[in-house]
Amino acid sequence: MNLKVTVLLLLSILMFSVDSITAKETASNKKEKSPRIINIVNFIRQTDYRLENSDALMFETVEKQIDLVNRYDFPATFLFQYDALINPEYQKLMKTKLSPKCELGAWWEITQPHVEAAGLKWRGEHSWVSTANIAFTPGYTLAEREKLVDVYMAKFKEIYGKYPKSVGSWYVDSHTLEYMYKKYGIVASCNCKDQVGTDGYTLWGGYWNQAYYPSKLNAYMPAQTDDFQIPVPVFRMLGSDPMYQYDAGIGTNHQGVITLEPVYKDGGGDKKWVEYFMESIVDEPCLAFNYAQAGQENSFTWSGMGKGLELQFPIFDSLSKAGKIKVETLEESGRWFKEQFPKTPATAITTLVDIRKEGNKSVWYNSRFYRSNLYWEKDGFCFRDIHLFDEKMKSEYLDTPGTGGQFFYYTLPVIDRFYWSTPEDKTGLRVVELDKNGSKTDVVLTDPVVSEPSNSVLKVESKDKSGNTFIFTFYEDKIDVSCKATGKKLDWALELKVPQERIGQLPFKNFGKSSIQSEFRGFNYTITCKKGNIVKGNNTDYVLRFVPSGNGLVINCAN
């Protein structure tokens, strides 16, 4: 081998090594900049009237949870209702068995001992009830909410020498959350996943998974500006199936549950489902970060959750040791979030592998302005969901206590496949091809390619059967849709068709050339095209079309 060939060979090896190292560093940096975070959150009730021998069974459950957490040396968060907080047996357990890596915090369901300690009258039939206006603070006056906070915080500090930094609940109202932040310095909160009718209350249209800074007027609504923002990140709990949770119970007033919760055999209790869920969390594009809450409330007892937790923890352990996930306390996640993001960041949940092997795919995008979901089915494609966020939309329970067992929290719908469908006829904002006679054909898109042009922008490219490429680019404040046609001019539009039984639910009031004046639950908002036009349909053939200009369309999402 002559000298020239030898030098060239060495240079080639060196360049390959440098490229390989650079690629690994880039991947590593990406993971570091976009961490995948798991919080193990176990929330603790003292008693449950629905269970025989509940106090003993629920205490045993917490003992088993601690043993499992200690076995894997995981940091975990244990959140206490007031009735469990004041129980000396739980205090002894936490002080003797819990690892110092773990965190103790507050679970914000209201119980009889809590209410009576605050000098208020208990309204429930049992010492703990799930009735929304009794178990949750939106059912109390503002003064009562503050008393409940004060008495809890004083007792927690008396027992553990400090105030809790994390507070979780199915829902914590904005007044209570801001009061806890200003007076007691909480740094993180968590609330329930999106659900319709489950457990007697509804949260629908919010920041799907991950975390957001809430509005001072509505803790379910992400804030857009500093003036309205409560600087406590709210993490979404329970790990919703990003593909199938949305449509569970579609067209009805009640959803089923498909989540990471270990008690559910079609979700967190099934190893294949957990692996599918974690693949979406860990391996797919997510922008700022991805997140899931593991763990379970002790009311389900160890016999209900033990098998599921035992199969989940080795998976978390393997991913953690491989550097693919961070297992940390809710407080740690809250502090990290505040250090990284002055405002709610854009995130994504990408799910391109179908656990049911039906060929379905899902991409969620969230920002402080809106959420959106693209959904590929074996026989179609659509925007399944677009909801706008507006910090000025007041919760109806902000100033006035709610009554009864049903509470409702919503954002502003542009597309809502769950509510606007029937079980037999599923709607969506679909791509249609138009011919010169005005006839239309649904465009079926396949094989999406998802990329991250920047830390807040998600790009999705998907082709139809003719090779035309549709490009969906999600920015923090807008959605850009365009098409690269293979040859001849392609006339297309985004079209919404809704079953006649659901027309009355639509928020659209007045149509202009490029805007729709809309109203939902008494709040007025505008849906606007920054590029393209809006065409009103007759509600029979279709409700509306977003028609591109110059083969491009831009929907404004900053209301």
Helix 174-184 and helix 142-160: axis angle, to 10°?
40
Q: Do residues 323 and 316 make contact, with C-beta atoms less than 8 angstroms apart? A: no
Sheet with 469-475: list strands edge to edge.
446-454, 457-463, 469-475, 478-484, 552-556, 523-531, 515-520, 508-511
The per-residue DSSP string of 450-514 comes to: EEEEETTEEEEEEE-TT--EEEEEEETTEEEEEEE-SSS---EEEEEE--GGGGGG--EEEE-SS
Torsion of CA 548, 549, 553, 558, to 10 degrees: -120
Could you tell me what percent of the chain has a pLDDT over 90? Answer: 84
Q: Do residues 217 and 395 make contact, with C-beta atoms less than 8 angstroms apart? A: yes
Cα–Cα distance for residue pair 227/230, rounded to 1 Å:
9
Q: Is the pLDDT of residue 15 over 80?
A: no
- The mean pLDDT of 48-69, rounded to a whole number, is 94
pLDDT category of residue 9 using cuts at 50, 70 and 90: very low
pLDDT for res 33: 77
- The mean pLDDT of 482-505, rounded to a whole number, is 91
pLDDT for res 18: 41
Nearest to 440 by CA among 516, 547, 335: 547
pLDDT category of residue 428 using cuts at 50, 70 and 90: very high
Residue ranges per structural domain of the chain? 32-345, 361-556
pLDDT, tens digit, 9 for 90 and up, residues 280-327: 999 999 999 999 999 999 999 999 999 999 999 999 999 999 999 999
Amino acid at 354: D
pLDDT for res 6: 47
pLDDT, tens digit, 9 for 90 and up, residues 439-474: 889 999 999 999 999 999 999 999 999 899 999 999
Query: Chain-centre distance of CA 88, in angstroms?
Result: 35
Nearest to 464 by CA among 417, 496, 432, 429: 432
CA atoms within 13 A on the CB side of 367: 21
Q: Which of 126-130, 150-154, 267-271, 381-385 shows the lowest mean pLDDT across its residues? A: 126-130
pLDDT for res 28: 42
pLDDT for res 404: 82
pLDDT category of residue 379 using cuts at 50, 70 and 90: confident
pTM of the model: 0.91
pLDDT, tens digit, 9 for 90 and up, residues 259-292: 999 999 999 999 999 999 999 999 999 999 999 9
Cα–Cα distance for residue pair 82/158, rounded to 1 Å:
13
Q: Is the pLDDT of residue 545 over 70?
A: yes
- Burial-class residue 437 by CB neighbours within 10 Å (0-12, 13-18, 19+): exposed
- The mean pLDDT of 122-127, rounded to a whole number, is 93
* Cross-strand pairs, 519: 524
Cα–Cα distance for residue pair 223/13, rounded to 1 Å:
52
Q: Is the pLDDT of residue 29 over 60?
A: no
pLDDT for res 437: 80
Average pLDDT, the chain: 92
pLDDT, tens digit, 9 for 90 and up, residues 163-182: 999 999 999 999 999 999 99
pLDDT, tens digit, 9 for 90 and up, residues 387-418: 999 999 999 999 899 888 889 999 999 999 99
State whether the Cα torsion 541-542-547-553 is positive or negative. Answer: negative
User: Both ends of the chain: CA-CA distance in Å?
Assistant: 70
Q: Which residues fall within 8 angstroms of residue 441, CB to CB, at 6 or more apart? A: 432, 433, 435
Q: Which stretch of DSSP H or E encloses residue 14?
A: helix 3-33
pLDDT for res 416: 97
pLDDT for res 436: 81
pLDDT category of residue 27 using cuts at 50, 70 and 90: very low
CATH superfamily of 32-345: Uncharacterised protein PF12979, DUF3863 (3.20.20.510)
pLDDT, tens digit, 9 for 90 and up, residues 206-256: 999 999 999 999 999 999 999 999 999 999 999 999 999 999 999 888 888
Nearest to 169 by CA among 420, 385, 407: 407
pLDDT for res 32: 62
3-state secondary structure 63-104: HHHHHHHHHHCCCCEEEECHHHHCCHHHHHHHHHHCCCCCEE
Q: Is the pLDDT of residue 13 over 50?
A: no
Q: Do residues 193 and 186 make contact, with C-beta atoms less than 8 angstroms apart? A: no
pLDDT category of residue 487 using cuts at 50, 70 and 90: confident
pLDDT for res 2: 53
Architecture, CATH, for domain 361-556: Distorted Sandwich (2.70)
Q: Which stretch of DSSP H or E encloses residue 153?
A: helix 142-160
Q: Is the pLDDT of residue 522 over 60?
A: yes
